[in-house]
Chains A and B, each alone.
Chain A
Amino acid sequence: MATAVLSTTSPAPGQAAWRRFCRHRLALAGAVIIVILVLGSAFGPYLLPFDDTYIDIMKRFAPPLSGAHVLGTDELGRDVLARLMMGARVSLSIGFVAMVMAMAVGIVVGAFAGFYGGVVGAVLMRLVDAALCFPTIFLLLALAALTEPGLVTTTVLIAATAWMSVARVVEAQVRSLREREFAVAALAFGSSNLRIMFRELVPNAVAPIMVAATLNVANAILLESYLSYLGYGIQPPAASLGNMLNNAQIYLTSAPWLAIAPGVIITLAVTSFNFLGDGLRDALDPRMNIP
C-alpha cells in the first residue's frame, strides 16, 4: 500500500463512464457486433454477385456452401446471403427509425406529464397505463391488420406500441428534476416552460433516455421480426429478417438452412443491443447498477 499513489484529481465524468463501459465486456462485444452488422448490411450487398430479388428457378434449394451460393438459395432460387444482408438492412433501419419516433413521442409526453403534473400529468400517464394493458403483439397485429402493410406502416406501428415505456421513464425523471435548484433558477430567470422542459430537464435525464433508446432498438427489431413472420410486416419480394422466416417452417424438413441464418442474425442483433443497453446503464449511472 505504501506505493499507492493517490490521485487528487478525479477523472472527468465522461472518462469514468467510458472506463466503466469498457469493463463491461459483453456490452463492448455487443457494440462491435452492431458495427459489423450495420457495415455488413450497408455495404455487403454491393460485394455480392447476386441480387436479393433475383429469381433463379433452376437453382432452387441449393444447400449452403454448394457452389457460388455461400448460404444456399431459397424456394425461388434467390441467394440467401444477399437476402440476409438486404433483410438486415431493412430490419436494422426499422429498429433505428422506430426507436427515434418512439423516443420523440415518449419524451414529449413524459416531459409534459412530469413537468405539469396534476390533471395533465394524471391524464397523460393514465393513457400510458391503459395503452400498456394491451399485450404488445395483440395491439401491433390489430393495428397492422387495419393498415396497408409496408415499410412505413411497420415502422410507425412499432413506434406506436413502444413510446409508452419511454414516457414512463422520462416522466419520472422530469418530475424529480423539476424541483432541483437549476430548474428553479431557470424559472427565476424567466425561461419559458418549454425551454425549461426541453433545454434544462430533458438533457439532464440523458442517461436513462439513452439506455431506454438502446433497449428500444432491440425491442423494435424483435417486433419487426414477429410482425413480418406472421405476414403483417414487410411484404415479399422485399426481404426482412422476419419475413425470411415466413416460409421457412414449410421447408423445415427439406431446407432447414432457410430457417437458421435469419434467426441467428435476429438473435445476434437483439442480444447485442440488449447487452449494449445493460452496459450503458452500468456506465452512465452507477447507482442504477442492479446487483
Chain B
Amino acid sequence: MARYVANRLAQAVVLLVIVSAIGFALLHLAPGGPLSQFAASSQMTQEDLDRVTRQLGLDRPLPIQYLDWFGRMLKGDWGKSYRDGETVLSVISSHLGATLELMTTATIIAVLLGCWIGILGALRRYSLFDSLATVGAMIALSIPTFWFGLVTIYVFSVTLGWLPAGNRETVGDGSFLDLLHHLIAPAMVLALVETAMWGRFMRSSMLEVINQDYIRTARAKGLPEWRILTVHALRNALLPMITVAGLQFPTLLGGALVAETVFTWPGMGRLFLDSIGYRDYPVVMGILMFSAIMVLIGSLIADILYAVVDPRIQVG
C-alpha cells in the first residue's frame, strides 16, 4: 500500500513538472508573449519596453526563466496581476469560493440524480426508463452548456420569472436564501452534463456487479432482494465511482467556466476570461496552472482512495 502511494506520488510529481513546462512554454513562445500588454499602449517607447523587459527578467534565456519561475511557484510566489498589482494567488483565492460553491452543488445534484438513474437503468435494463435515460444522457452530453444556460434563463427567468438571470446575489441582500436562489440555475446547468456522465458510469458499473457469481450466491441463499441490492451489489458498484469522480474533474472545471460566463457568476472561470481579455498573462498562466494542478491532485486522491477502499487494486 505504502509502495503504491509512493509510486503514484512520484508519478504526480513528474506530471507536475511536465505540466508546468507546457504551461510556461505556451505563454512564452506565443507571438507577443508577456510583453504584448505593454506594447499595446501607445505611450510606451522602445526604451520603456526594454526597461520593462529587464525588470521582468524577460531578457534571460528561457530555461533560466522557467527554473526561476518554477522555483518561485513552489514558494507560493505566482507573480502579480498586470491589472491591479495584486498577487496572482490572492486574485485566484478571492474567486475560488464562488467556483467551488457552484461545483460542489452541481456535483451533489449530479451524484444523487445520476446514481439513481444509473442504478434504476441497470436493474430494469432495456425498459422504457432505461432507453429514455440512455438517449437522454447522450443528448445531455451533446448540448452546449452555454446554450442550455441560455434556454434556462429564457424559461425560468424571462418567461416564468422564477429565478434570477445571473450574479451570485442581489445587491444589498445577500442573505442565505438569496444566495441559494441565485445558485439554483447555474448549478442546474452545470449538473446536466455531470448527471449524464454519472448515470452512464453508474449503470455500467451496476450491470457488471449484478451479473457476478456472488450476487447469484446471495440470491441462492434466499436473501431478500433489497438486501442483495443495497448491501452486496451497490457497495461494490459504487467503488469505481471514485475513479469517475477523478476523471470528471477537468470536465467539471471547464463546465464551471462556461456556466459562470452565462450567469455572470463571479468565479475563477469568469476571472480567467476577463484576464484573457486584458492580456493579464500572470493571472491567465496562474489559473491555467492552478486548474491543471487541481486536476492532478484530484486524480491522485481518487487513485489512492480507490486503492484504500478496494484491496484488490494493488498494482503499481
Contacts and interface: CB of A to CB of B under 8 A. Distances in A.
B288 A138 contact: yes
A204 interface: no
B144 interface: yes
10 contacts: A132-B250, A135-B251, A141-B257, A145-B279, A145-B284, A147-B30, A232-B276, A242-B144, A263-B143, A263-B150
A137 B254 contact: yes
A200 B196 CA distance: 38
B273 A141 contact: yes
Scoring B142, B153, B258, B279 by chain A CB atoms within 10 A of each residue's CB, the highest score goes to: B142
Contact of B272 (A134, A141, A143, A291): A141
Interface string B142-180: 111111001101100010000000000000000000000
Nearest to B15: A130
A249 interface: yes
A235 B169 CA distance: 33
Interface in B238-288: 250-251, 253-254, 257-258, 261-262, 272-273, 276, 279, 284, 287-288
The list of the 9 closest CB pairs from A to B, nearest first, reads: A146-B30, A263-B147, A130-B18, A270-B142, A137-B254, A271-B142, A145-B276, A135-B250, A135-B254
Contacts of B18: 126-127, 129-130
A232 B276 CA distance: 10
B127 interface: no
B287 A138 contact: yes
Nearest to B252: A135
B142 A138 contact: no
Contacts of A133: 15, 19, 250, 292-293, 295-296
Given A136-B254, A226-B258, A130 B22 contact: yes
B14 interface: yes
A135 B153 contact: no
Given A133-B15, A146-B30, 8 more contacts: A134-B295, A135-B251, A142-B288, A230-B261, A245-B144, A259-B150, A274-B138, A291-B125
A131 to B, nearest CB: 6
Contacts of B284: 142, 145
Nearest to A260: B151
A135 B147 contact: no
Given A130-B19, A229-B146, A263-B144, A147 B31 contact: yes
Contacts of B22: 130-131, 134
Contacts of B291: 134-135, 138
A275 B138 contact: yes
B176 to A, nearest CB: 28
A137 B15 contact: no
Secondary structure at chain B's binding surface: helix, strand, loop or mixed?
helix
B141 interface: yes
B93 interface: no
B296 to A, nearest CB: 5
A253 B145 CA distance: 19
A129 B292 CA distance: 11
A263 B279 CA distance: 30
Interface of A: 26, 126-127, 129-139, 141-143, 145-147, 218, 222, 225-226, 229-230, 232, 242, 245, 248-249, 252-253, 256, 259, 262-263, 266-267, 270-271, 274-275, 278, 290-291
Nearest to A268: B142
Contacts of B272: 138, 141
B147 A266 contact: yes
Given A133-B295, A137-B258, A263-B144, A245 B31 contact: no
Contacts of B143: 263, 267, 270
A168 B296 CA distance: 18
A35 to B, nearest CB: 18
A130 B13 CA distance: 11
B147 A142 contact: no
A271 to B, nearest CB: 4
Contacts of A262: 147
Contacts of A131: 22
B27 interface: yes
B32 interface: yes
Interface in B26-47: 26-27, 30-32
B27 A146 contact: yes
A253 B144 contact: no
Contacts of A130: 15, 18-19, 22
Given A142-B288, A266-B147, A274-B138, A137 B257 contact: yes
Nearest to A278: B138
A136 B249 CA distance: 11
A259 B147 contact: yes
Given A133-B292, A146-B26, A229-B144, A267 B139 contact: yes
Nearest to A148: B31
Contacts of B204: 290-291
A142 B151 contact: no
A257 to B, nearest CB: 11
B132 to A, nearest CB: 12
B253 A135 contact: yes
Nearest to B251: A135
